[in-house]
């Protein structure tokens, strides 16, 4: 296989009725029209980074469409909220910030 290019192999494989597909790296896959047509990727608007292309939800259930509603949080974006939900007070959180434990 290594002695010929894919373009050289295609007619040979086709005329012998063989099923084949090129091996793709990550940049090839994200540029693949069929991957986009199969909804493997989606486009979202990030509040600070603008338009982003992301991998779509891989779980496809009939009659139950999935979607990406938001992008991943920024580093530390929900730290205070999570700490408050787990019993920390604002004073505890201030102490953690003062000691450099959280940002």
Contact present, 93 and 80 (Cβ < 8 Å): yes
Cα(21)–Cα(30) distance, rounded to whole angstroms?
Answer: 16
pTM of the model: 0.55
pLDDT score of 33: 94
b/e code 40-69 from CB counts within 10 Å (16+ = b):
eeeebeeeeeeeeeeebeeeeeeeeeeeee
Q: Is the pLDDT of residue 44 over 80?
A: yes
Report residue 73's pLDDT band, with 50, 70 and 90 as the boundaries.
confident
Rounded mean pLDDT, 47-70: 85
Contact present, 53 and 30 (Cβ < 8 Å): yes
First to last CA, the chain: 54
Rounded mean pLDDT, 41-55: 90
């Amino acid at each position: 296989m290594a002695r010929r290019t894919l373009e050289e192999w295609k007619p040979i494989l086709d005329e012998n009725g063989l099923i084949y597909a090129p091996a793709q790296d990550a940049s090839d896959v994200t540029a693949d029209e069929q991957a986009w047509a199969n909804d493997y990727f989606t486009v979202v608007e990030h509040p600070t980074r603008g338009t982003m292309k992301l991998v779509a939800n891989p779980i496809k259930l009939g009659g139950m469409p999935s979607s990406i509603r938001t992008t991943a949080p920024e580093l530390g974006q929900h730290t205070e909220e999570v700490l408050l939900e787990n019993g920390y007070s604002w004073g505890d959180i201030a102490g953690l910030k003062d000691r450099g434990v959280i940002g």
